[in-house]
Structure 1
Amino acid sequence: MKMLVAAAVVVGTAFGVPVIAQERQHQHGSEEPSGSSGQAASMEQHRQAMQEMHELMARAKTTADPAERQRLMAEHRAKMHAQMAQMMSGKNAEMMQQHHQHMAMMHEMMAQMAAHHAANQSAENND
């Protein structure tokens, strides 16, 4: 179990550091006065869209009316798809593709570590 946790930390660090560095670069980029007003506006629109989706989800969780819940979830899904389409377009497409590839690799590695752990547990139980 300790090896699984240690491996997860190593994998998370190996793949997380470039992502954090890239995020910090984006944060610093929003402070630059020249040419960054478009980025700042885009980030603000993204934050607003995320807030709206969180509010829709919260309302869907608290409503007692199944029809209202279904309507709210459909609206949430539509906003989410629109936001994802926007994020995957233009200048963001390459960055999002890289993040997707990193996440896919991390998911695969975690699945392999879980299978390895399960095999070790099974071997220990058979002894």
Structure 2
Amino acid sequence: SVLVSMLEARRESSDSGCSSDDNSDVERDSNCRCDSQGFFRRSIQQKIQYRPCTKNQQCSILRINRNRCQYCRLKKCIAVGMSRDAVRFGRVPKREKARILAAMQQSSTSRAHEQAATAELDDAPRLLARVVRAHYDTCE
């Protein structure tokens, strides 16, 4: 009975979305395992355009036939919730990260100076009016 439940669980996980690799025990996002995640990541990073499906985009994606229709395989990965936006494009080197951070800090500093100068200019007419009023009060 334990063997039957294990087989049923394995069958359900293979039907739940992308293809599954029996050698991998760790499930990832949307019940998809490493093999489909690698396929999805490579497809997005390399901007691969697969040939349209010849079977009305209704191919059954299983472990034994997952390489037959890459168009439907990618479509199924997206359907089960894999996100194009979550695909990372490699690590950012430390120097590049430091350069980006410095540029962001410089931008925020210059923005703060610009806001302070704008505030002073907005206050200039009021300041001028007060000086003129003080001059009239003391000179008349």
Could you state the TM-score of these two structures normalised by the residue count of structure 2?
0.22
**More helix by percentage:** 1
Q: Could you tell me the TM-score, scaled by structure 1's length?
A: 0.24
Greater relative contact order: 1 or 2 (C-alpha under 8 angstroms, separation 6 or more)? 1
Greater gyration radius: 2
